[in-house]
Amino acid sequence: MERLVSIGAFGKWQQEMKRALNPKQKLITICGGTGCAAFGAPGVEQTFRDEVDRRSLSESVSVKRTGCHGFCEKGPVVVILPQGIFYPNVQIEDIGEIIDETVIGNKTIERLLYVDPATGKRIAKDHEVPFYARQQRAVFRLNSILDPTDLGDYIARDGYVAAAKAMGGMTPEDVIDEVIQAGLRGRGGAGFPTGRKWQFTRAAKAEPKYIICNADEGDPGAFMDRSLLEGNPHLVIEGMIIGAYAIGAAKGIIYVRSEYPLAVENTIIALADAREAGLLGEDILGTEFGFDITIHKGAGAFVCGEETALIASLEDSRGMPRPRPPFPAVSGLFQKPTNINNVETWANIPRIIEMGAAAYAKIGTEGSKGTKIFALAGKVNNTGLVEVPMGATLRQIVFDIGGGIPRGREFKAAQMGGPSGGCVPAEYLDLPLDYDSVQRIGAIMGSGGLIVMDQATCMVDIARFFTEFVQKESCGKCVPCRVGTRRMLEILTCITSGQGELEDIDRLMRLGEMIQKTSLCGLGQTAPNPVLSTIRYFRDEYEAHIVEKRCPAKQCRGLFRYQIDLEACKGCGLCLKNCPVGAITGEKKAAHVIDQEKCTQCGICLDKCPFAAVV
């Protein structure tokens, strides 16, 4: 395409792209996100294309690979537009029937429809599926209909309109004021007001200035940023262009972990297309503003999500944090003023400029505006990406959208904010979730990881798991984090193996509070959260492990053993055949015995026994 040399030329091209959209044309969309790809979406997409060509339907039917639809466990997800017919878990052998019955015949295929587990009802339309219907998608709204590698597709849906509006009719100060008035807080974890952060960087005297997109998403179970870059990279790029214009930055960097190959691939394509169109580079859209973006692949260190460690990594140093002040807004990359926001924060910016601060600020709570994307995982029926207004409750997310807890079990807690977050117990199911309310109960919003736990989850073992993660990921620069988390892990391991003592609970609390106060960076300062929050709300489980040598959830292997009821055992030999360590002995049709020295408590014998003889 020709380079757009003015805002007027951009407007004309946008109108051409809009006219090219045919809302009545049959469109087969296939989720192309990493989750659906793991279930075989690339093969489904290619087969749809082959079948459309074979049947000579190309003039009336299009096939499009989109970004993540959010309902990851139902992949590959296929939606037939304009009807919005929703088919989850589509297999290659279903494709011929879908084309014949739905694409050509305008009929739904009952057996392929989504079945609501709560009602047993088959649902045909995507917007009627409870998982989608109860969300409020703003940032994520185009992921399911947009080809992430097609700039024209984004332009046709008002892409880069906000950037043109900012550069064409607003001063940098106007843009910053709009972001401040909108009340946007950083979606990366701490929730610092985004507009104020921009203000500090703009006011810094040194040149040049840099902006960075932090896509080093390392929380276990979190994949919001990855899916945004995979499914709508232009939205993030547009947000960065607006931010650079407001701050006065000439160069931007997207720091993304190399474990996200599809996000990297789609972002590189988007950057090249934006550059070719004149949306990046010198004199963007005929203005005097010049700005470009490069992509940097990180090695996947969790600590590099901390902004000063990320900067060190970009400078080809080891990713280790440094003391603040000075803050990056004053002295960041190469000691120059630097503004860092995460992927979801940048993706909110075009929406604010397009709809206006007043309209944006109507969404959410008094202190937390807009929507928030959560990665819903764990012991919940519907897993995937969920976008809701700030102030939505945990009950709405877990039960209304997530469909509740599998196997009829009870909700026990949710780990919010990743390994540095805290556990939110059932008593707070109806607490409106925003930055301030979550912090008051001992957790953090974090980047949006939300892991649901049921009554079969051991909270002491959960604390041990997350402490082990942060201990391994500690860069080791400061003693409180390096040594303190190791000591906490040692104590937790003793407790879960039946060797703890009551004084350990107080030791953990003292250690946690000390690490919070004295660690150098955010990783160490929040590392004790899982331990402190589980002691706060589930102290009785710690005491049961220590005093009674019992794990109430029956998860800690050091506190239980398997044995065979000699009267119930029929000597069928199934447990013996399936034991991976040869811990079971016995003759056929005679009672079997488990050697406790060899047993690893894997539980396979319990699962395989048809007579309930293993207890």
Beta strands of 289-406 (E only): which ranges?
Answer: 292-298, 338-342, 371-378, 384-389
pLDDT of residue 607: 84
List the structure tokens of 481.
């984090």
Residue 1 — pLDDT band, cuts 50, 70, 90? low
One-letter-per-residue 3-state SS of 400-431: HHCCCCHHHCCEEEEEECHHHCEEEEHHHCCC
**130 closest CA partner among 118, 142, 140, 139:** 118
Cα 146 from Cα 238, distance rounded (Å): 15
pLDDT of residue 103: 96
- Three-class secondary structure of residue 88 per DSSP: coil
Residue 118 — pLDDT band, cuts 50, 70, 90? confident
The per-residue pLDDT for range 15-72, each reduced to its tens digit, is 999 988 887 789 999 999 999 999 999 999 999 999 999 999 998 999 999 999 999 9
Task: Assess whether pLDDT exceeds 80 at residue 190.
Answer: no
Cα 609 from Cα 614, distance rounded (Å): 7
Cα 393 from Cα 414, distance rounded (Å): 12
The per-residue pLDDT for range 295-343, each reduced to its tens digit, is 999 988 889 989 999 999 999 999 999 988 999 999 999 999 999 999 9
The per-residue pLDDT for range 487-501, each reduced to its tens digit, is 999 999 999 999 999
**Residue owning tokens 């044309």:** 25
Whether 450 and 414 have beta carbons less than 8 Å apart is answered as yes
Question: By CB neighbour count within 10 A (0-12 exposed, 13-18 middle, 19+ buried), where does 148 fall?
Answer: buried
List the structure tokens of 381.
């029926």
The per-residue pLDDT for range 445-463, each reduced to its tens digit, is 888 889 999 999 999 999 9
Please list the alpha-helical segments (H only) found in 120-190.
130-133, 151-156, 161-169, 172-182
Cα 433 from Cα 439, distance rounded (Å): 10
Q: Give 25's Cβ-side CA count (13 Å radius).
A: 15
- In the predicted model, what is the mean pLDDT of residues 575-598? 92
The per-residue pLDDT for range 200-230, each reduced to its tens digit, is 999 999 999 999 999 998 888 889 999 999 9
The letter for the amino acid at 151 is L
Question: Domains, the chain, ranges and CATH?
Answer: 22-126 (3.40.30.10), 159-360 (3.40.50.11540), 371-454 (3.10.20.600), 459-547 (1.20.1440.230), 561-615 (3.30.70.20)
Cα 379 from Cα 395, distance rounded (Å): 14
- In the predicted model, what is the mean pLDDT of residues 391-399? 96
The count of other CB atoms within 10 Å of the CB of residue 517 is: 9
- Three-class secondary structure of residue 388 per DSSP: strand
The count of other CB atoms within 10 Å of the CB of residue 156 is: 19
Beta bridge partners of 385: 375
